[in-house]
Structure 1
Amino acid sequence: MADGIITRGRVMKKAHLFLLVALAFVFSTASADIPSTLSYQGVLTDSGGAVVPDGSYELTFRIYDVASGGTPLWAETISNVQVNGGIFNVILGQSEKLDLDFDVQYWLGVSVNGGAELAPRMSLSASPYSLNARQVKGTTNFFPGSGNVGIGTTDPQAKLHVESSDGHALRVISNAQSGQYAGIFAESSTWHAVLGINDNSDAAVMGRNDGNGPGVKGQNQGAGPAITGYAVTGNLLELYTTPGPNLKLTVNNNGDIKTAGTIESTAGGFKFPDGSIQTSAALNPVAYGIIRADGTVLAATPNVSCAWNSSTSRYEITIDGESYYYLHYITNVTVKSSSPRIATTGSVMSKLLVSVFDIDGNLVQDNFSFIVYKP
């Protein structure tokens, strides 16, 4: 009986295998030792459509990439398969690793008790191809936007929530050889694109560069700052060098700056609270002179003129080319007298004012010299 299959003393002129349900796949990427498995259910009938007798059968399963002929890509024989009412259930991949990619069309062939393979082969439907989720392919892949995904947590609070108690929670590497590509590209239209929180003494966010670029770089296309930071009690900024580490620059909560190096201004100078800007540490005199008690000039730079104002009992000095304001200049006055004298300076209408006092605080006239520096 070349066309029959002998099973438990009976002759089946032809056996038919019908795929009812491909129930499930069990696949894990957590360990290479856990194989992919396929739950498979079918019905065995004879040529007349009657189910085969209940009992134990040996079934051989083969997977091909062609509907007929060809060489099996995978095969597994399962002994003692229990058939009840013609229905059987098996788990494929338990003894022979089911390691196909499932990225092309496959067909399943079945043999009963070592007999010839039943025809036709079954075309595997969409469910088996879910195995391909372990290596999502294509130039563009997408996933549903609803719900959250948790790794290391059963209560994800974001679209992707990753927790780890024994190492890095997330590691992203970009090996692009050219162009401008970030390991992580974050974008937000309402709040921080990247937020780091740390409950211990280490950094909440750390940037590292093993090349010649910056470890951390901030860029803002709008009106806000490129980098901003705040501290409740600690320093606003600390910069170190290695080996060490050696603290080189500190900005504390009061805004004070402490540096272990040199502060350099290549342009613009330094601006002080009074609004003055110093572009050089060298003080250059803009005017100097010797003034007699009556207000006449004994000797001075060409831009100096002086007059005694009897109504205010003070000397008024004009410096051509300068709009004198006492906070913007450094002025030294030395009284030329054998008696104790005190001199004060001020300004009015762009003029240098010099007042001379005796030891009792009375305004007096006396000889003096002065020099004016402009920072």
Structure 2
Amino acid sequence: MAFIGGQGSAEIIPDLQASPIEFPISIQGILPDENGKPVPNGSHDITFSIYNEASGVTRLWQDSQSLVSSGGLFDTLLGKSKPIAPYILNVSSGTYLGVKVGDDSELDPRIRFAYAPYAIHAVASGGSDTLDGFGSSDFVLKGKVYAPGSVTVAVSSYSPYSFSILDEDGTVGTYSDLVIGLDGLVFISYY
């Protein structure tokens, strides 16, 4: 969607909104049958669960997928259809993956999540809360941004942001206040 504002200066203020963020986890494995041999090739319903204990019942996350295996091998992304909140993967206190194939009981033992090498570096880095020595407060907009003349905003896909548009008098225009003119251009209507 693109729209063009009317004459005069305008101010665009992003309004950040909470939205689910995807952190998919790549999982590969071999599905065993009851004798420990790889399951036959084909589609298998698999339920993945994340727990905070190696053998407890406190489930933090769960998702079921239908996966195709070849020689018992499968691969998938956990969190692609049901996002996993980052706080769930608290590996310092222990987080475990349970895998259940079809109607069988969950495979034992559960798999403990561990840090990836780059994650260890990020956690151990003394400057992990800065960018080139600057803190997040150094990147806060401290004033108004004016765009004299017309304003063009192009959105190529949905994002978790919304915008309020102020004209030079401080009058607010929002998506519901946008009007399409006879020339096909969109302008802010605040009357």
TM-score, normalized by length of structure 1? 0.28
Counterpart selection for 2:41 from 54, 59, 82:
54
Counterpart selection for 1:117 from 106, 129, 133:
106
Secondary structure of 1:78's counterpart equals strand
Matching of residue 68 in structure 1 with residue 44 in structure 2: no
Counterpart selection for 1:107 from 96, 115, 118:
96
* Counterpart in the other structure of 2:140: 171
Q: Percent identity?
A: 34
Over the aligned positions, Cα root-mean-square deviation in angstroms equals 3.7
Q: 2:54 and 2:79 mapped to 1: Cα distance?
A: 21
Q: 1:44 and 1:72 mapped to 2: Cα distance?
A: 22
Q: Which runs of 5+ in 2 are unaligned?
A: 1-16, 143-191
Post-superposition shift, 1:172?
A: 8.7
The structure-2 alpha-carbon separation of the partners of 1:86 and 1:128, relative to structure 1 and needing over 3 Å to count, comes to farther
Provide the aligned length of Structure 1 versus Structure 2: 119
**Is this contact kept in 2: 1:62–1:109, CA < 8 A?**
yes
* Counterpart in the other structure of 1:84: 70
The structure-2 alpha-carbon separation of the partners of 1:77 and 1:129, relative to structure 1 and needing over 3 Å to count, comes to farther
Quick one: which amino acid aligns to residue 61 of structure 1? Answer: F
Structure that is richer in helix per residue:
2
| CA shift digits 1:148-192 (9 cap, x unpaired) | x6xxxxxxxxx369xxxxxx981299xxxxxxxxxxxxxxxxxxx
Q: 1:96 and 1:115 mapped to 2: Cα distance?
A: 22
**Is this contact kept in 1: 2:127–2:133, CA < 8 A?**
no
Q: State the structure with more CA Rg.
A: 1
The structure-2 alpha-carbon separation of the partners of 1:47 and 1:128, relative to structure 1 and needing over 3 Å to count, comes to farther
Quick one: which amino acid aligns to residue 43 of structure 1? Answer: I
Quick one: which amino acid aligns to residue 113 of structure 1? Answer: G
**Is this contact kept in 1: 2:25–2:78, CA < 8 A?**
yes
Equivalent runs, 1:3-42 vs 2, <5 Å: 32-42=19-29
* Counterpart in the other structure of 2:126: 142
Quick one: which amino acid aligns to residue 170 of structure 1? Answer: F
Structure 1 segments of 4+ aligned residues over 4 angstroms from their partners = none
Counterpart selection for 2:82 from 73, 96, 100:
96
**Is this contact kept in 2: 1:61–1:75, CA < 8 A?**
yes
Q: Which runs of 5+ in 1 are unaligned?
A: 1-29, 150-158, 162-167, 174-375
| CA shift digits 1:248-281 (9 cap, x unpaired) | xxxxxxxxxxxxxxxxxxxxxxxxxxxxxxxxxx
The structure-2 alpha-carbon separation of the partners of 1:66 and 1:38, relative to structure 1 and needing over 3 Å to count, comes to same
Q: 1:129 and 1:109 mapped to 2: Cα distance?
A: 25
Equivalent runs, 1:326-365 vs 2, <5 Å: none
**Is this contact kept in 2: 1:35–1:98, CA < 8 A?**
yes
| CA shift digits 1:14-39 (9 cap, x unpaired) | xxxxxxxxxxxxxxxx9734322111
The structure-2 alpha-carbon separation of the partners of 1:115 and 1:57, relative to structure 1 and needing over 3 Å to count, comes to same
Quick one: which amino acid aligns to residue 84 of structure 1? Answer: S
Post-superposition shift, 1:111?
A: 0.6
Matching of residue 44 in structure 1 with residue 31 in structure 2: yes
